[in-house]
Chains A and B, each alone.
Chain A
Amino acid sequence: MKKDIILCGVGGQGILSIATIIGEAATEAGINLKQAEVHGMSQRGGDVQSNLRLSTEPIYSDLISLGGADVVISMEPMESLRYLPYLAKNGTIVTSNKPFVNIPDYPDETALMAELSSMPSVVQLDIENVAKDAGNARGANMVLLGMAAPFIEILSVEQLRKAISVIFARKGEAVVEANLKAFDMGVEASKK
C-alpha cells in the first residue's frame, strides 16, 4: 500500500508541522517515508509545498509523479489548485476555503471557489474559524490534518493523534490538548 501526499500553502502557514507529525506517525508505525521540503527563499510569503510519500514498499523517488498524488492537503484554496496536474484522477483535495491574499493579482474568489468545488473529491472548510471555535486560533493546521486524516488511510486516526502528543509534548500538556481538540474537530468535520 502507498499514499502520496502533497502538502501546500503559503510560507509561514505551518505546513511543515503537519509534515513532521505525519513523519513521526509513519516512523513509529514502521512505514517507509520520504518527505521533500522547500527551504530557503520560497519561505518568505511565497507558495510552499512538501511532497510526502508513504509506503509499505521501498520508496525510490523523493518527488511525486504527475497524476500520482492521492491527497492534496492545502492551507489555502488557490494553492490547492496549483498542484492539480499532480493530483491522481481519483485523488482528494483537502483544503482551507479561506483565501490568503498577499498578491495583487489574486484570482476572482467566486470563480476560484467554483473551480475548486467542481473537482470530483474535495473536502473544504474555514479551518481558521474551526480552530478559533476550538479555542486554539493557531491550530488551523491541526484542523486541516484532522480533515485529511480519513484519507491518509495508511496511518490510522489514532496513530496521528499519538504523533501529535509526541511532537507537542515538549510544549506542555495544555498545548497537546489544544492541538488534539483542533485535530478531532477536523476529523468530525470531514465526516459531514
Chain B
Amino acid sequence: MKKLLLGDEAIALGAIHAGLSGVYAYPGTPSTEITEFIQADATARERGVHSRWCTNEKTAMEAALGMSYAGKRALVCMKHVGMNVCADAFVNSAITGVNGGLIVLAADDPSMHSSQNEQDSRFYGKFALVPVFEPSNQQEAYDMVSSAFDFSEALKVPVVLRIVTRLAHSRAAVEIGNQGAENKLNPSTDQWVLLPGIARKKYVDLLNKQPKFIEASENSRYNKVEKGGQKRLGIVACGIGYNYVKEAVGNDANILKISQYPLPEAKIKALAAENDEILVVEDGQPVVEEGLKALLGAGYPVKGRLTGDLPRTGELTPDCVAKALGKPCGAVYEPAKNLAGRPPQLCQGCGHRDVYAALNAVLAEYPDYRVFGDIGCYTLGALPPFKSLSSCVDMGASITMAKGAADAGLFPAVAIIGDSTFTHSGMTGLLDAVNDKSNITVVISDNLTTGMTGGQDSAGTNKFEAICLGLGVEPEHVRVVVPLPKNMPEITRILKEEIEYNGVSVIIPRRECIQTAARHAREAKKAKEANK
C-alpha cells in the first residue's frame, strides 16, 4: 500500500510499524511533524505509545535512554541544535550502550530556513563513535527506521538518523509495510554505572565495535555503487545529494551513494582506484569530503565544498550540483525588477506586539538599555517596526546574557523569553541571577504555547509564578499583566517599577497565542456541534 507522506511522517510511521514504544522530543523545525504524527496516529494512541512533548532535548534524550534500558524501542527527535542541548546524555549513551533499540533523530537545517546555524549532525555521530543513517528519500526514511532499530539492538549502540529540511518537509508516495510488535519489558542487566573504572572499559568496548560498524556500512543496502559514467569521475553522493546527482546526470555517472556511516572505506578506495578524481556531494558541512581526504591521502584529487566546486554554505540545490558536474542550466529569466523582500512578522493581534510596544515606550527613557532576546516567534521583535532586541543566541541565553551584562555594570539589562523557552533552558539561569541578586528585569512573554513551531503544548503552562517563586524571586517582584493595547498604561507603569528595582524581577505578560486561540475556538465549536 502506498501513502503520500512528508519525510518526517515517513519516519514517524516507520517507527510505529517498527514497534516503537515511545517518542521523546522538544518541538523544533524541521523535526516537529514526526512527534505530531505519532501523537495523532490511531495505532500509537491505542497502544499507549509515549508521545507527550518533553521540556527540552536533554530530558527527551535521557527519558528515551531510560526506555531503552527497560528493553523497549525509543525514538528521540530534535532539530540539529537540539543535539547541543542533549549532547552530554547523547555522547555518554554511546558508552553505556543500549538495550531496546534507540534512534536519535537529528533534523539539520542547511540554509538556516528556521535556525541560527547550519551545524551538521553527522559530526556528532563521528564524535560519539556511533553509526549514522542518512536517507536519500521518503521511502528510505520509512525503511531505515526499522533497519536502524534492528542495528541498534544487534550492536547495542544508539544510532543517529540524520535528515535535512528538504527531506523532512517534502512529500512523496511511500510503500508501507506491516505493523510490528513492541518489545516486552526486559530491563538491562548490563553495567550502566559510568564510574571512571567502568567507563574506561566500556569505552574500549565501543572502540572494538567500530570495525563492525564499518563492515555494516560496506554491506549496507543503502550504500550502493552505480557504474556507467563516461568520464573518469567518481561521485560520492550522500543522503539527498544523490537525488541532485541523478537529476543532473541520470545513469551516465560512477556513483557511490552513501546513506550509512561510518564511511565504507573499501568501497571508497575502489571508487578512487577506478576513477581519476572524486566529487563529494553532501548536504551540510564537508564531513565526508574531509574523511575522503584523510582516507585517500593528499595526492588524490577530492572535490566538494572545501574546494569551491560546490558552495561552502547553504543547502544543495539541483542547480549547484548540476554546475559542479559540468551541466550548467540554460537561459533563464532575470530576477524581477519590481520585487521586495517579505520577511516573516508577528501576527496582527499577537500579545508579543503589545509587550514590545510597552518595552520600547519605557526603555526610550534609558539611553544605555539593552534587551537580550531568545528563541521563538518573539525573536521577530528584532525586526521593524519594533527593533527591540540586541541579541538572540540560543535557548535560554536571554536571561543569562542579561545577567552577565548586568554583572559588568550594564543598566537596564532586560531579558525577554517565551514561556516554552523559559522552561526549556531559562529556569537554571534565573536561579543563577537570584543567587547573585543580579540587577535584571526578565519578561516571560507567556502565550500558553510553543508558538513558532505551530502551537504545541508548553511544559510550564499555569506554573510560571510558582516556578519563579520557587527559584527565589521575591513575591512582590513577580508581576503578571495582560498584554492588550487597552492595558498599556498599567504595563508600562509596572515595567518601569521593576526596571527601577535593584534586583531580579520577573514580569509575565500572559495572553494566549491568537493562532492557538482560533484553533481552540474551532475545536470547541466542533465539539458543541457533535454534542447536538
- Contacts from A to B (Cβ < 8 Å): 10-11, 23-24, 27, 32-47, 51, 59-68, 78-79, 81-82, 84-87, 89, 102-108, 111-112, 115
Contact = CB atoms under 8 A, between A and B. Distances in A.
Residue from the set B172, B317, B341 with the largest chain A CB neighbour count within 10 Å = B172
A106 B333 contact: no
A65 B247 contact: yes
B267 interface: no
A86 B335 CA distance: 9
A15 B340 CA distance: 20
B37 interface: no
Contacts of B516: none
Interface residues of B, number: 51
Contacts of A78: 338-340, 342
B532 to A, nearest CB: 14
A37 B4 contact: no
Given A27-B173, A68-B318, A79-B342, 20 more contacts: A10-B342, A11-B344, A39-B29, A39-B33, A40-B30, A41-B114, A42-B344, A44-B380, A45-B344, A46-B343, A60-B242, A60-B246, A63-B317, A65-B317, A67-B332, A82-B336, A84-B335, A85-B334, A102-B342, A112-B338
30 contacts: A33-B4, A35-B172, A36-B170, A36-B171, A37-B6, A37-B170, A41-B344, A42-B113, A42-B114, A44-B347, A44-B380, A45-B347, A46-B345, A60-B242, A60-B244, A61-B247, A62-B167, A62-B172, A63-B317, A67-B331, A82-B339, A84-B335, A85-B332, A87-B332, A102-B342, A103-B340, A106-B340, A107-B339, A108-B338, A115-B336
A62 B163 CA distance: 14
B166 A62 contact: yes
Contact of A63 (B6, B318, B340): B318
B517 interface: no
Contacts of A23: 4, 171
A110 B166 CA distance: 36
A65 B318 CA distance: 6
Contacts, number: 149
B337 interface: yes
A105 B340 contact: yes
Nearest to A120: B333
B344 A44 contact: yes
Interface in B435-458: 452-454
